């Protein structure tokens, strides 16, 4: 009887944990739903800024690698990267040795946008961290890493 009550309470707590995580995901998703301006690039849609973020400051990455990083199809990448607005931000270069392949990298303007987004991102993350105490931060970040590792399998 009492045991059943405790069991039931335990289940309800677990349900709440799952629900809270879902809630956090949803709230974070909604924060980035609208076009925003980063650097001198004009308003960029979420997908555009994610693409710029995934390209990064490297020399150039394959279109297929970019698709992998973003978890979308190659076709989606082609569409994003070749649209008019992105032409100023993303440079496409034939691969040096494989003539099927295309390398993408950021223009100077694209790098500005990347850095501006990074700054905003860090600032926001810092706000999140300021809600937690140092021990909590340490453990939270360790948990995030563990969960990421699990999910990548």
Partner DNA sequence: GTATTTATGTTTAGTTTCTAAACTATTTGT
Partner DNA sequence: ACAAATAGTTTAGAAACTAAACATAAATAC
**Which residues are near its own copies by CB under 8 A?**
14-15, 17-18, 20-31, 71, 118, 121-122, 124-129, 131-132, 135-137, 139-152
Selection from DNA, its own copies, none that 88 binds (CB < 5 to 8 A by kind) is none
Binding partner of residue 95 among DNA, its own copies, none, CB cut-off 5 to 8 Å per kind = DNA
Q: Nearer to its own copies by C-beta: 94 or 132?
A: 132
Give which of its own copies, DNA, none residue 91 binds (C-beta under 5 to 8 Å, depending on kind). Answer: none
Q: How far is the CB of 6 from DNA (least distance, A)?
A: 37
Give the burial string for 11-43 (b: 16+ CB within 10 Å, else e).
eeeeeeeeeeeeeeeeeeeeeeeeebebbebee
Contact predicate 90/51, CB 8 Å: yes
Residues lying near DNA in the complex (CB under 7 A):
33, 35, 45-48, 50, 62-65, 70-79, 81-82, 92, 95, 97-103
Residue 120 contact among its own copies, DNA, none, beta carbon within 5 to 8 Å by kind: none
CB atoms within 10 A of CB 49: 24
């Amino acid at each position: 009887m009492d045991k059943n009550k405790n069991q039931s309470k335990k289940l309800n707590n677990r349900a709440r944990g799952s629900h809270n995580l879902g809630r956090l995901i949803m709230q974070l998703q909604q924060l980035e739903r609208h076009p925003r301006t980063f650097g001198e690039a004009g308003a960029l849609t979420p997908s555009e800024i994610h693409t710029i973020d995934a390209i990064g400051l490297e020399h150039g990455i394959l279109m297929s690698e970019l698709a992998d990083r973003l978890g979308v199809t190659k076709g989606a990448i082609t569409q994003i990267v070749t649209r008019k607005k992105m032409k100023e931000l993303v440079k496409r270069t034939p691969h040096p040795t494989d003539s099927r392949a295309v390398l993408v990298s950021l223009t100077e303007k694209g790098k500005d946008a990347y850095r501006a987004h990074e700054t905003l991102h860090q600032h926001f993350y810092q706000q999140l961290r300021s809600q937690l105490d140092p021990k909590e931060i340490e453990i939270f970040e360790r948990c995030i890493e563990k969960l990421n590792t699990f999910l990548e399998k």
